[in-house]
Chain A
Amino acid sequence: MTRVMLLAVLDTLLPGDDGEPRLPSASEAALDLKRLERLAEPVAAALGDSDGFLMASPAERVAKLRIVEFNAPDAFKALLGEALATYYEAPPVLAALGWRVAPPQPHGHDVAPNDPVTLQALDKVKSRGQLWRS
């Protein structure tokens, strides 16, 4: 599968959106395509006419990939899984979804401390007395 074709497939899977902030499409997210290239081959074979796919409208591309998803589910699933893993770790995608690009450690995350008012509601639970059986 050519790079142009691979990006066209990926953009159909992960088109991005015009939300705030804008979510980039797969081709805009500067993905590392190395792992995807191998997995794309059987999908390309199932798609058949690559020129036809490239010339198709976005809606037609979706329809063509739906057929591949139905006819070659294992190959399609493998490509989709890898596409999701690559895309949703890409810094521009994380940033667009308001998520930190740096890994969870060493800084961790801040969670608001317990609110005493919320915990005071446990008095009502306690006031019900024993709830267990023996």
Chain B
Amino acid sequence: MAAGEQIKFGPVDVAIVGAGLGGAAFARRLASRAPRLRILCLERGDWLDRAQVPAHQPDWQRRAVEAWATSPNLRLKAGGNAISADYPIDDSESDFKPLMWNGVGGSTVNWAAHFPRLHPSDFKTRTLDGVGDDWPFSYFDLEPYYDLNDEAFGVSGLAGDPAYPPKKSRRMPPLPLGRLGAKAARAFDELGWHWWPVDAAINTVAEGDRAACNHCGPCQAGCANGAKSSTDLTYWPRAIASGVDLRTKCVAQEIVVEGGKATGVRYRDAAGRDCWQPASTVVVAGNGIGTARLLLASGIQSPALGRNLMFHPAAYVRGMFGDELDGPIGPIGCALYSHEFYETDEARGFKRGIHLQVTRENPLLAQASRLEPAWGAEAQRLLREEFRHSMAVLVLTEDLPELHNRVTLTDTIEADGLPGVKIEYTLSRAARRALDFGMARAEEMLRVAGAHRIVRVPLAPLTGWHLLGTARMGSDPATSVTDGNGCCHTVPNVIVADGSLFPTVGACNPGSTIGALALKLADSLMGASA
């Protein structure tokens, strides 16, 4: 073959771009329902080698904020990570910094695995509250897929939470609340507020070749023993066994569209060669930034494409206690949450609601790095007071779609061959009000629990996990990118299958919903139902 010549592969029925949560769930479901289909997935990064994750290393705290940081920009600044094929994101005009993983498993590799569902009301915010937009289907349409996704991930938790419609029994008992969680539970109880142990996609008992969680702590730098579910451990082994071809270190460059129809994907392989993969259907699942970037770079037209970028605006409140707590150990996304204020109550001065989550604490270095003052005797006095004596409450609120919050391409061509990408995001006044309300409630709980000092973090920029809304579903091509089946209005054989589709986002973590949604979309492609 001559240098520079394009490598051409035989056609497939479905080419999926991105092996994260959406792509993996879609691939597995489609392969199980239609075993004769030729299904391919192109993943820009590589498989995780668990022996490499920081938790095994003496300098794990440093690694977790450098080459294994949750932010791709920080990983690149530290020299890059050989597994996560990151690209720089200009976030200079965004209140939140995007976090993700660009390898097999996507951001499930370094997520906290907190696994709540959205509420039924989250699917009809326009009808119920006059804000945002309704989803094209209801919670109850998605419910069977939530159950399927739960089954694939193996959820630990407790059924019976009255904040949700009844859910099936959780397959494993909940993660331990620990001293920290038990103290918070007593305070919520005293206040008469709702609380519940988290649903987590983390094994609390060993299952198959996967261990039970041993509460080591740094989940967000990759799980060392495989107790935390990620799609490299859940969907992918099954999808590959079903015949799906997963090609790693392959960076999609363009979805080629001819006459209003996608004909395939042009990509760069691990050796840097230009490759052409014809496909009858192209599925894009690269998260709310990566998906928009590829669709925009491919010239796919939609006035809503890249717009309406949503996170879950986040704040923290920390309480300091005289007695020793066990914050810095255990999975970071535990221990419990409260949806006492999740549903709209207009007397609060804003619509929609908040999610309060009592989380584990950060490691020592992260705690030392967040102090004010940052150095000197006073900083070390504060650290003595806080370390193993603090409880953090994460306040999340619902973000609503706003056109000016967006993903755009830059004029630069990045090292991966694609145009550069920029995000612009400003916290809305409504979200600010909701966060302030949530911080006040968190402080109230912490005071009841016995905190003698409170620190508020009104905005937590490094919480930009949930990259949502930039290729939203809807019926109107003027205001949405895809229909309710994830098919692009202008190129119907291009399907989006990730959180980009969310018309609205609720106030809690989207992973469970992204997985369920991708399963549903795969069935839609087959004309089937759960």
A binds B: yes
- Using a CB–CB cutoff of 8 Å, the interface residues on chain A facing chain B are 12-17, 19, 23, 62, 65, 80-81, 83-85, 88-89, 94, 97-99, 102-115, 118-119, 121-122, 124-126, 128-134
Q: Could you say which of A15, A98, A110, A133 contacts B121, with CB atoms under 8 Å apart? A: A133
> Which chain A positions have C-beta within 8 A of B339?
131
Looking at A16, A132, A134, the one whose CB has the most chain B CB atoms below 10 A away is A132
Q: Are A107 and B182 in contact (CB under 8 A)?
A: no
Q: Are A109 and B215 in contact (CB under 8 A)?
A: yes
Cross-chain pairs A/B with CB under 8 angstroms, 28 sampled: A65-B375, A80-B375, A85-B62, A97-B383, A97-B387, A98-B388, A99-B364, A99-B388, A102-B58, A106-B224, A106-B225, A108-B214, A108-B225, A111-B176, A111-B178, A111-B330, A114-B173, A114-B176, A114-B197, A118-B185, A118-B186, A119-B158, A122-B158, A130-B162, A131-B194, A132-B119, A134-B120, A134-B139
Q: Would you call B128 an interface residue if the criterion is a C-beta within 8 Å of the partner chain's C-beta atoms?
A: yes
> Which chain B positions have C-beta within 8 A of A124?
189, 192
Q: Are A88 and B61 in contact (CB under 8 A)?
A: yes
Looking at A17, A113, A119, A122, the one whose CB has the most chain B CB atoms below 10 A away is A122
Given contact pairs A14-B375, A134-B165, a sample of 11 additional A-B residue pairs in the complex whose CB atoms are under 8 Å apart: A15-B376, A97-B388, A99-B364, A103-B60, A105-B55, A108-B216, A109-B215, A111-B176, A113-B176, A122-B195, A133-B128
A111 CA / B344 CA spacing, docked (Å): 36
Near A by CB (< 8 A), chain B positions 155-213 give 158, 160-165, 173-179, 182, 185-186, 189, 192, 194-197, 213
Top 4 A-B pairs, shortest CB-CB distance: A108-B214, A104-B216, A109-B329, A134-B120
Q: How large is the interface on B (under 10, 10 to 19, 20 to 34, 35 or more residues)?
A: 35 or more
* Contact A118-B177, Cβ < 8 Å, known A104-B218, A104-B224: yes
Near A by CB (< 8 A), chain B positions 370-411 give 374-377, 380-381, 383-384, 387-388
Q: Are A128 and B56 in contact (CB under 8 A)?
A: no
Q: Are B182 and A115 in contact (CB under 8 A)?
A: yes
> Which chain A positions have C-beta within 8 A of B426?
none
Q: Would you call B326 an interface residue if the criterion is a C-beta within 8 Å of the partner chain's C-beta atoms?
A: yes
> Which chain A positions have C-beta within 8 A of B119?
132-133
Q: Are B216 and A126 in contact (CB under 8 A)?
A: no
* Contact A89-B215, Cβ < 8 Å, known A104-B224, A111-B178, A128-B194: no
Q: Are B56 and A89 in contact (CB under 8 A)?
A: no
B361 to chain A, nearest CB (A): 12
A105 CA / B224 CA spacing, docked (Å): 7
Q: Are B376 and A13 in contact (CB under 8 A)?
A: yes
* Contact A131-B224, Cβ < 8 Å, known A99-B364, A118-B185: no
Near A by CB (< 8 A), chain B positions 208-244 give 213-218, 224-225
Q: Would you call B76 an interface residue if the criterion is a C-beta within 8 Å of the partner chain's C-beta atoms?
A: no
A133 CA / B54 CA spacing, docked (Å): 43
* Contact A103-B214, Cβ < 8 Å, known A19-B384, A111-B326, A134-B121: no
> Which chain B positions have C-beta within 8 A of A111?
175-176, 178, 215, 326, 329-330
> Which chain B positions have C-beta within 8 A of A62?
376
B263 to chain A, nearest CB (A): 43
> Which chain A positions have C-beta within 8 A of B197?
114, 119
Q: Are B376 and A12 in contact (CB under 8 A)?
A: yes
> Which chain A positions have C-beta within 8 A of B384?
17, 19, 23, 97
> Which chain B positions have C-beta within 8 A of A105?
55-56, 214, 216, 224-225
Residue of chain A at shortest CB distance from B54: A103
* Contact A89-B174, Cβ < 8 Å, known A62-B376, A105-B216, A131-B343: no
B486 to chain A, nearest CB (A): 24
Residue of chain A at shortest CB distance from B62: A85
Q: Are A126 and B380 in contact (CB under 8 A)?
A: no
Residue of chain B at shortest CB distance from A83: B375
Q: Would you call B369 an interface residue if the criterion is a C-beta within 8 Å of the partner chain's C-beta atoms?
A: yes
Looking at A83, A98, A134, the one whose CB has the most chain B CB atoms below 10 A away is A134
A114 CA / B381 CA spacing, docked (Å): 32
Q: Could you say which of A16, A118, A121, A125 contacts B380, with CB atoms under 8 Å apart? A: A16
Q: Are A84 and B189 in contact (CB under 8 A)?
A: no
Q: Are B163 and A132 in contact (CB under 8 A)?
A: yes
User: What sequence of 0s and 1s flags, for each residue 3-39 of chain B, a beta carbon within 8 Å of any chain A beta carbon?
Assistant: 0000000000000000000000000000000000000
A98 CA / B173 CA spacing, docked (Å): 30
> Which chain A positions have C-beta within 8 A of B369?
81, 84
